Amino acid sequence: MYKKILVPVSMKHSGDRTHKALAHAMGICDGEIVLLHITNPVPSLVGGAARKELVDEETSAGRAALAPLLEKLDEAGIRHHTRIDFGVVATVIVKVAHEEKVDLIVMFTDGRDGLEDMLFGSITERVLRETDIPLLVVRR
């Protein structure tokens, strides 16, 4: 059993895939689950009130994406908390995993999504290359 598990959540791939990854995490967690939503950074050219508005919008969208998963964790009585971060997805996942001192990262994969994945690798592959924390990859 793992004491602390990180589950990254993507709005792009929310739904069944994310719920499946969370179900795996719930089955092996004997402590706390950290749900992480990551959005692209707000361009540095945007400042002032416009920047704050963009950050607030992205944060609200992240909270909305996490809400159904939080409900599922509440119903199961599993301790949890959320994080919403901005940045390059794979890099942020690894950074947060270390900051939170997790024992395991649980992610889903559905293979390559397009040209970018073919050239640079999927987010899951990049996390695997960058982390020293165990990674459980759930296929669809």
Residues 6+ apart with CB under 8 A from 18: 7, 9, 10, 69, 108
Model pTM score: 0.88
Ordered domains of the chain (ranges, CATH): 2-139 (3.40.50.620)
**Structure confidence by residue, pLDDT tens digits, 8-53:** 987 665 567 888 999 999 999 999 999 999 988 878 788 888 888 9
**Structure confidence by residue, pLDDT tens digits, 81-128:** 999 999 989 999 999 999 999 999 999 886 655 544 444 458 888 999
Gap between the Cα atoms of 140 and 127, Å rounded: 18
